[in-house]
């Protein structure tokens, strides 16, 4: 059977699943994306993907079920274990209940780097020039640098002449 990069496959039985399905109905193991199989990339074993009940975990994100499931799917693609749990005493809001995304404490740094990359990809910030992000408008200085666009201008103006960012 040819491998379709758009579908997911069970690494044990080889069954094919739609993209939104994450676990094999028969084996219960995490599915592998067709693009991963075609690329010949080695995935972590199922025991590395699943978090044991006694393993120390840390919450890295709180949000709606749909938001957190999307992040969990992204982490799974990166080979990182995570689980979704209801926050103790959490109430349901108008957007639905909020849940926590937990990861292994040992995977925290790798997880945060993956989530930062996911954020840059989904907000198009990976293409944004951040060289001037640390610039601070100082009205007492002779010249100011706009943190949005990097334009240099006299600090007696409270608005960037290039992009219009207001400092008043």
Residues 22, 78 share a domain? no
Please tell me the distance from the alpha carbon of residue 74 to that of residue 110, in angstroms, as a whole number: 13
**H-run or E-run covering 17:** strand 16-17
Residues 67, 137 share a domain? no
Residues 87, 25 share a domain? no
Q: What is the pLDDT of residues 1-45, one digit of tens each?
A: 567 889 998 876 678 899 999 998 877 888 888 888 777 653 444
Give the pLDDT band (50/70/90) at residue 121: confident
Q: What is the β-pairing status of strands 92-93 and 57-64?
A: unpaired
Total domains in the chain come to 3
Name the least confident of 2-11, 63-72, 102-111: 2-11
The backbone region for 24, taken as left when phi is positive above 0, alpha when psi lies in -120 to 50, beta otherwise, is beta
Give the pLDDT band (50/70/90) at residue 141: confident
73, 79 Cβ separation under 8 angstroms: no
Question: Which letter does DSSP use for residue 93 in this model?
Answer: E
Q: What is the pLDDT of residue 45?
A: 44
Give the pLDDT band (50/70/90) at residue 86: confident
């Amino acid at each position: 059977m040819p491998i379709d990069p758009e579908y997911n496959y069970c690494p044990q039985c080889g069954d094919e699943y739609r993209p939104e399905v994450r676990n094999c109905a028969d084996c219960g193991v995490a599915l592998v994306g067709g693009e991963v199989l075609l690329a010949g990339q080695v995935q972590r074993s199922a025991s590395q993907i699943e978090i044991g009940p006694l393993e120390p975990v840390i919450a890295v994100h709180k949000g709606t079920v749909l938001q957190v499931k999307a992040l969990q799917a992204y982490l799974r693609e990166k080979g990182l274990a995570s689980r979704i749990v209801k926050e103790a005493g959490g109430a349901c809001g108008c957007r639905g209940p909020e849940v926590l995304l937990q990861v292994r404490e040992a995977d925290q740094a790798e997880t945060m780097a993956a989530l930062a990359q996911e954020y840059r990809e989904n907000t198009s910030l990976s293409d944004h020039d951040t060289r001037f992000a640390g610039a601070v408008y100082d009205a007492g200085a002779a010249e100011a640098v706009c943190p949005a666009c990097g334009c240099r201008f006299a600090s007696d103006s409270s608005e960037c002449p290039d992009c219009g960012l207001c400092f008043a």
